[in-house]
C-alpha cells in the first residue's frame, strides 16, 4: 500500500468553523473562553480542550463535521482534563528540564552577592556558569518539548478513538499508524504549521499598526480557537485515513504470505478438492 499525502478536502476542513447551525454563537463562545484564559489561567482552556476532542471524535467516527453545541459542559470539562493529563505526560520531561535550569540559574545569580569580592575568579565562573546552565537547559528543554509535541496529535487521536486515556500511551499501536502513513502525518504538520504561520503574520501586521495594535487581545482569542479546532479536524482526518490504510494492509498480508503450491496434509495427500 502506498502512502498518501492527500488530506481529504482541506477546503472543507478550513471552512467548517464558519458553517453549520448557529456557528457564530458557538465560535464566539470558544473565542471568549480563550480570551477569559488571560484573566483565569488553565480553567477556560480545559473546556476548549474537551471541545476540540469532540471535533476529533466527529471526524474519526465519520460524522458530519461542524462546531458542536456548547451543551455538555461536564463532558467538555472531563475530556479537557483527560487531554491535559496526556499532554503533560508527553511534555513533562521538557518542562522539568527547563524548570530545573531556571531554578539553577536564579539560584546561582542570587548567590553572587555572597561571594567575596576579592575572589574574582569564582565570581566570573559562577556568573558565566549560570548563563551556560540556562542556555543548556533551554536548548535541551525545547528539544524535549518538540520530541514530545510531534507525536502528541497521533496519541490524542488514538485516545479519542478508543475513549481511554491509556490508549494515548500505547505507543506501538498509534506508532504503527504513523509508520503506515508517514507522509500523511508530515503533510498534516506542514498544513497546520503553515496555517499558524499565516495567521501569525496577520498578527504581526496588526501589531505593527499603531492604530490597530489595541485590537491584539481581541484577535488572539478567535485566531487561537480557529487554529485549535481546524488542527484537531485535520489530525483526526489523518488518523482516520491511517487506520483505513492499516486495515487494507492487514487484509492483503495473508495473500502475500500464502504459498502458491497446494497444501498437503500429513499423509501426503493433496488438500485440493478433486476435479
Cα(160)–Cα(179) distance, integer angstroms = 19
For residue 119, the model assigns a pLDDT of: 65
The answer to whether residue 18 scores a pLDDT higher than 90 is yes
For residue 86, the model assigns a pLDDT of: 94
What is the helix (H) or strand (E) element at residue 256, kind and residue range? helix 216-257
Indicate the pLDDT class of residue 244, thresholds 50, 70 and 90: confident
For residue 246, the model assigns a pLDDT of: 83
Q: What is the dihedral sign for C-alpha 28, 34, 37, 38?
A: negative
For residue 213, the model assigns a pLDDT of: 66
**Whether the Cβ atoms of residue 156 and residue 168 lie closer than 8 Å to each other:** yes
Indicate the pLDDT class of residue 125, thresholds 50, 70 and 90: confident
Average pLDDT over the chain reads 81
**Whether the Cβ atoms of residue 175 and residue 153 lie closer than 8 Å to each other:** no
For residues 169-195, give the mean pLDDT: 88
For residue 250, the model assigns a pLDDT of: 59
Cα(197)–Cα(275) distance, integer angstroms = 68
Q: What is the pLDDT of residues 138-148, one digit of tens each?
A: 999 999 999 99
For residues 218-236, give the mean pLDDT: 90
The better pLDDT of the pair 6, 80 is held by 80
For residue 271, the model assigns a pLDDT of: 44
**Whether the Cβ atoms of residue 149 and residue 90 lie closer than 8 Å to each other:** yes
Least confident piece of the model among 207-211, 226-230, 257-261:
257-261
Indicate the pLDDT class of residue 123, thresholds 50, 70 and 90: low
For residues 264-268, give the mean pLDDT: 43
**Ordered alpha helix ranges (H), 111-215:** 120-149, 152-162, 171-180, 182-207
The answer to whether residue 259 scores a pLDDT higher than 60 is no
Dihedral, 9, 11, 13, 18 alpha carbons, nearest 10? -150
Q: pTM value?
A: 0.77
Amino acid at each position: 500500500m502506498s502512502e498518501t499525502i492527500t488530506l481529504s478536502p482541506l477546503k472543507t476542513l478550513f471552512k467548517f468553523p464558519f458553517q453549520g447551525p448557529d456557528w457564530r454563537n458557538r465560535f464566539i463562545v470558544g473565542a471568549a473562553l480563550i480570551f477569559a484564559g488571560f484573566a483565569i489561567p488553565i480553567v477556560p482552556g480545559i473546556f476548549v480542550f474537551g471541545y476540540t476532542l469532540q471535533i476529533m471524535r466527529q471526524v474519526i467516527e465519520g460524522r458530519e463535521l461542524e462546531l458542536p453545541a456548547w451543551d455538555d459542559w461536564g463532558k467538555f470539562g472531563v475530556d479537557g482534563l483527560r487531554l491535559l493529563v496526556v499532554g503533560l505526560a508527553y511534555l513533562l520531561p521538557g518542562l522539568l528540564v527547563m524548570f530545573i535550569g531556571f531554578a539553577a540559574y536564579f539560584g546561582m545569580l542570587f548567590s553572587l552577592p555572597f561571594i567575596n569580592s576579592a575572589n574574582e575568579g569564582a565570581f566570573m565562573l559562577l556568573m558565566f556558569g549560570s548563563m551556560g546552565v540556562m542556555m543548556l537547559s533551554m536548548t535541551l528543554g525545547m528539544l524535549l518539548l518538540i520530541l514530545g509535541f510531534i507525536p502528541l496529535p497521533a496519541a490524542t487521536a488514538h485516545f479519542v478513538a478508543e475513549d481511554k486515556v491509556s490508549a494515548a500511551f500505547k505507543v506501538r499501536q498509534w506508532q504503527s499508524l504513523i509508520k503506515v502513513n508517514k507522509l500523511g502525518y508530515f503533510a498534516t504538520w506542514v498544513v497546520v504549521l503553515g496555517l499558524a504561520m499565516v495567521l501569525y503574520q496577520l498578527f504581526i501586521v496588526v501589531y505593527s499598526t499603531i492604530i490597530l495594535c489595541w485590537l491584539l487581545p481581541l484577535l488572539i482569542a478567535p485566531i487561537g480557537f480557529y487554529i485549535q479546532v481546524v488542527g484537531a479536524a485535520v489530525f483526526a482526518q489523518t488518523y482516520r485515513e491511517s487506520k483505513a490504510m492499516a486495515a487494507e494492509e492487514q487484509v492483503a498480508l495473508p495473500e502475500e504470505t500464502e504459498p502458491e503450491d497446494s497444501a498437503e496434509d500429513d499423509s501426503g495427500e493433496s488438500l485440493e478438492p478433486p476435479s
